[in-house]
Amino acid sequence: MLASGRTVSSRLLRPTAWLPLRLSSERTAASSPQKELIKKHEQDELRPLYMDFQATTPMDPRVLDAMLPYQVNYYGNPHSRTHAYGWESESAMETARKQVADLIGADPREIVFTSGATESNNMAIKGVARFYKAKKRHVITTQTEHKCVLDSCRILESEGFDVTYLPVQKNGLLDLELLEASIRTDTSLVSVMTVNNEIGVKQPIKEIGQICRSKGVFFHTDAAQAVGKIPISISDWKIDLMSISGHKIYGPKGVGALYVRRRPRVRLEPIQNGGGQERGLRSGTVPTPLAVGLGAACSVAQKEMEYDHQRVSMLANRLVQKIMSEIPDVIMNGDPEQRYPGCINLSFAYVEGESLLMALKDVALSSGSACTSASLEPSYVLRAIGADEDLAHSSIRFGIGRFTTEEEVDYTAEKCIEQVRRLREMSPLWEMIQEGIDLKSIKWTQH
């Protein structure tokens, strides 16, 4: 019904032309300016398949629907107290705050709107460390954190703080005993991410929270990749600060939130000063439409979490099964059990990751985080889990999300299998392996 005949030319243009991308016949009833738009849109559909849901997600139509009124007619400043424009925006902002809080089991007064998880992470790490600097001068984090956490810690180091970057185990998980041993009397903050953005492993947050609480240390977690995808409970997990991102959960870009515990109270020095909005923690007018979008995204995520999780797990299994059953020497990075299924990081031995990405140009994939995708350096996360240099160079991250279809997964798997085989046939290393030569025994010429 949907797959009305594609023309020959578009079949040639798009290798995925067999996918039912055509518009339904009802569309022909549209007016002519609309037809123009649709034509333009169809050209636009010649873009690659999207399999990079860790980098960002498309906005859910339910989120856009909630935001639109605040982008046009309801434009009041939510902090204006003297007229109805302000009141209606304020009420929308507070509803959104409650939606965010409900998703993680927090009180709305503990949610601070920010511009995204990067700002939240900066605020939490620098804010707590600086506020308590008179007595406590030590911060703990892990080597596999997001760049913005690591960089905030570097800044703290330059301000005279001591930072411990804990290594992780081979499976990407933090060793709890090592963490406990690293906490000192002057440690103010421990920051460990919930779900890793590159390899998808889920840290033992509950246990870490327990340790931190018993030692009287504040615990921050970057949950940008976890919120709305796995159940999170602030109180059960004893989290003191948590970063949330809008565009990773089918919400708008440019908005996020920081959860800051009220009891026992966590205090931080604000980074952005000014009008004293958000209880003085983050001055600046809250962008009502974006906040509404984040709230709607959280509320949709709460409703759809189980459904989405089941679906994403099914698609992820399908992808991994297909690839692993067809080609040998594929390694899945990160713990096989403690993970979010929608983030799959595979290393294809004897194939160079960048070449594979080039060969798979009709599928939007990445070899790691978007922030570092411009560099050809192997991912620091993979190096931290002890992956060999060559395996770190041959990794690809597959991101599956709410809008991924079976057809897209099948196409990606087939294409991937085909290209890995082709690249291996061209590889001298693969040839040597086939001849039974141990690559580690080879003496490469020294320069």
According to DSSP, residue 111 is labeled E
- Round to whole Å and give the CA distance between 343 and 335: 12
Using CB under 8 A as the binding rule, whether residue 72 contacts other proteins is answered as: no
Kind of pairing, strands 256-260 and 343-348?
unpaired
- What is the dihedral sign for C-alpha 127, 130, 133, 134? negative
Footprint of other proteins on 7-26 (CB under 8 A): 13-14, 19-21, 23-24, 26
Nearer to other proteins, 46 or 181 (CB): 46
Compute the least distance from the CB of residue 15 to other proteins, in Å: 9
Q: In terms of CB distance, is 378 or 399 closer to other proteins?
A: 399
Q: Does 41 bind other proteins (CB under 8 A)?
A: yes
What are 165's strand-pairing partners? Answer: 141
Q: How far is residue 409's CA from residue 398's CA, in Å, rounded to a whole number?
A: 10
Among 65, 157, 389, 431, binds other proteins (CB under 8 A): 65
**58/204 with CB nearer other proteins:** 58
Annotated active-site residue 298? The verdict is: no
The rounded distance, in Å, linking the Cα atoms of 115 and 256 is 5
The CB-of-193 to other proteins minimum distance in angstroms stands at 28
Q: What are 357's two structure tokens?
A: 């990405």
Site for other proteins in 375-414 (CB under 8 A): 402-405
Among 38, 181, 371, 439, interactor with other proteins by CB under 8 A:
38
Distance CA 273, CA 231 (A): 34
Distance in angstroms (rounded) separating the CA atoms of residues 134 and 130: 8
194 neighbors 203 (Cβ within 8 angstroms): yes
Rule CB under 8 A: choose which of 361, 371, 426, 439 binds other proteins: 361
> Of 65 and 157, which CB lies nearer to other proteins in the complex structure?
65
Give least dist CB 361 to other proteins, A. Answer: 6
x/- string (CB under 8 A) for other proteins, residues 44-63? Answer: xxxxx-x-------x--xx-
Bridge partners of 241? Answer: 220, 260
Q: Output 62 or 79, the one with its CB closest to other proteins.
A: 62
HEC letters along 359-400: HCCCEECECCCHHHCCCCCCCHHHHHCCCCHHHHHCEEEEEC
Q: How far is the CB of 81 from other proteins (least distance, A)?
A: 32
Q: Which residues bind other proteins (CB under 8 A)?
A: 1-2, 13-14, 19-21, 23-24, 26-27, 34, 37-38, 40-41, 43-48, 50, 58, 61-62, 64-65, 307, 361-362, 402-405
Q: Which residues are catalytic?
A: 371
